[in-house]
C-alpha cells in the first residue's frame, strides 16, 4: 500500500504542474479556439531566465517573481508582434506560427545555453517536511505553489473588472467592443497571463526533470491530455484533468506499464478522449452545422 500512496502523492505534485500548463492552454483556447503548441517552450525559456538570474546571484524568490513578471511581458509582446498579424488568417497559418515559435524558442535557448542538462534549484528544504515518508519537500511545495496560482487566477477572473472583461472578450468580441473593452489588448493580456503561469510551472518542474531545452515536451503533452480530459474550454476541468493525468501517469508508470512507456498514457488519453468524448468530461458539446 505504501508505494501506491507514494505514487499517488507524487502524481499530485506533477499533476499540479500539468494543471497549470493546461490552464494556460485553455486560456488561449477560449479566446482564439486554438491550442498554443509553443506554450511549453515558452515556459522552458522562462525557466532559463530564472536560472540566469539565480546564477547571477539573485535570491531564489527574487528571481522567481522577476521571472514571472518578465514572462508576462514576453507573452504580451509575442502576442502583439507575432500573433496579431495573423489574427484573422486561416487556422493552419496560425498553427504554423505556433510551431515556428516552438522551434525558434527551442533552438535559441539551445544556442544561448547549450543543450547540456543543468540542475535547477528548489526553494524548499532537502529533508522531507514534518519527517513524513511519502513526499519530498519539493513535491509538497510545488503543490502549494500550484494551489496559490490557481486561487489567484480564480479571484482575478471571478472578482475583478479586468478579469470579467477578459472573459467577456473571449466569448463575445463584438458585444465587448460595444461596452468599450479593447478586445485586442485582452487577448495580449491572456497571452501574458498564460506565459506567467507557464513560467511558474517550468520553475516547479525543472528541479524534478532537470533543466534542458527539451524539458517541457513531455509536460506539454500531459497538459494537453489534461486539458482535453477536462474539456478544452473549461478551466476548472483542465485543473482537475491535470491532477488526474499526473496521478494516472505515476501509478500506471510504476505498477502497470513501466516508466519507459509513461508518455504513452498521455497519448492514449488524448486519442481516447478525442474519439469517445471530444468535449471532455466537463466541456460543452459543440454541434457544428455542415
Tell me the three cell numbers of residue 231: 474539456
Contacts with 131 (C-beta within 8 Å, 6 or more apart), sequence order: none
- Name the minimum Å distance from CB 21 to other proteins: 24
User: Which range binds other proteins by CB under 8 A, 31-39, 75-83, 94-102, 169-177?
Assistant: 169-177
**Does residue 179 belong to the site contacting other proteins (CB under 8 A)?**
yes
| Binding residues for other proteins restricted to 133-162, rule: CB under 8 A | 161
Residue whose entry in the numeric block shows the C-alpha cell 473593452:
181
User: Which range binds other proteins by CB under 8 A, 94-102, 179-187, 207-215, 267-275?
Assistant: 179-187
Residue 225 vs residues 42, 266, 274, 288: alpha-carbon distances, Å: 18, 6, 10, 23
Residues 17 and 194 sit within 8 Å (Cβ to Cβ) = no
Contacts with 21 (C-beta within 8 Å, 6 or more apart), sequence order: 39, 40, 43, 197, 198, 201, 216, 219, 220, 222, 223, 226, 242
- Name the minimum Å distance from CB 81 to other proteins: 20
User: Which range binds other proteins by CB under 8 A, 20-28, 46-54, 178-186, 224-232?
Assistant: 178-186
- Name the minimum Å distance from CB 183 to other proteins: 8
Phi/psi region, residue 148 (left: phi>0; alpha: psi -120 to 50; beta: rest), is: alpha
Q: Which CB sits closer to other proteins, 33 or 73?
A: 33
Q: Which CB sits closer to other proteins, 141 or 280?
A: 280
Which of 1, 92, 178, 285 binds other proteins (CB under 8 A)? It is 178
Which residue, 147, 281, 252, 280, is CA-closest to 204? 147
Q: Which CB sits closer to other proteins, 123 or 184?
A: 184
Which of 100, 112, 177, 258 binds other proteins (CB under 8 A)? It is 177
**Does residue 279 belong to the site contacting other proteins (CB under 8 A)?**
no
Q: Which CB sits closer to other proteins, 97 or 186?
A: 186
Question: For 64-74, b where at least 16 C-beta lie within 10 A, e where not — what string?
Answer: beebbebbbeb
Which of 165, 220, 265, 266 binds other proteins (CB under 8 A)? It is 165
Query: What are the residues binding other proteins (CB under 8 A)?
Result: 161, 164-165, 167-168, 171-172, 174-183
Amino acid at each position: 500500500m505504501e508505494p501506491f500512496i507514494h505514487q499517488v502523492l507524487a502524481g499530485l505534485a506533477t499533476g499540479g504542474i500539468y494543471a497549470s500548463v493546461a490552464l494556460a492552454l485553455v486560456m488561449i483556447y477560449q479566446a482564439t479556439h486554438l491550442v498554443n503548441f509553443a506554450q511549453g517552450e515558452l515556459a522552458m525559456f522562462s525557466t532559463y531566465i530564472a536560472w540566469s538570474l539565480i546564477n547571477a546571484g539573485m535570491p531564489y524568490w527574487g528571481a522567481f517573481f522577476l521571472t514571472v513578471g518578465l514572462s508576462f511581458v514576453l507573452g504580451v509582446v509575442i502576442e502583439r508582434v507575432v500573433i496579431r498579424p495573423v489574427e484573422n488568417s486561416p487556422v493552419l497559418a496560425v498553427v504554423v506560427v505556433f510551431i515556428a515559435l516552438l522551434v525558434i524558442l527551442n533552438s535559441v535557448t539551445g544556442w544561448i545555453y547549450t543543450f547540456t542538462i543543468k540542475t535547477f534549484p528548489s526553494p524548499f528544504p532537502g529533508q522531507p517536511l514534518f519527517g513524513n515518508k511519502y513526499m519530498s519537500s519539493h513535491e509538497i511545495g510545488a503543490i502549494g505553489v500550484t494551489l496559490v496560482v490557481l486561487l489567484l487566477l480564480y479571484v482575478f477572473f471571478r472578482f475583478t473588472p479586468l478579469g470579467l472583461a477578459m472573459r467577456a472578450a473571449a466569448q463575445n468580441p463584438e458585444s465587448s467592443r460595444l461596452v468599450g473593452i479593447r478586445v485586442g489588448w485582452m487577448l495580449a493580456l491572456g497571452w501574458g497571463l498564460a506565459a506567467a503561469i507557464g513560467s511558474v510551472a517550468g520553475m516547479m518542474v525543472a528541479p524534478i526533470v532537470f533543466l534542458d531545452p527539451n524539458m517541457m515536451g513531455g509536460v506539454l503533452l500531459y497538459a494537453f491530455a489534461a486539458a482535453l480530459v477536462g474539456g478544452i474550454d473549461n478551466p476548472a476541468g483542465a485543473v482537475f484533468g491535470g491532477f488526474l493525468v499526473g496521478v494516472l501517469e505515476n501509478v500506471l508508470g510504476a505498477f502497470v506499464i513501466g516508466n519507459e512507456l509513461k508518455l504513452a498514457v498521455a497519448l492514449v488519453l488524448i486519442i481516447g478522449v478525442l474519439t469517445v468524448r471530444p468535449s471532455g468530461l466537463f466541456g460543452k458539446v459543440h454541434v457544428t452545422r455542415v
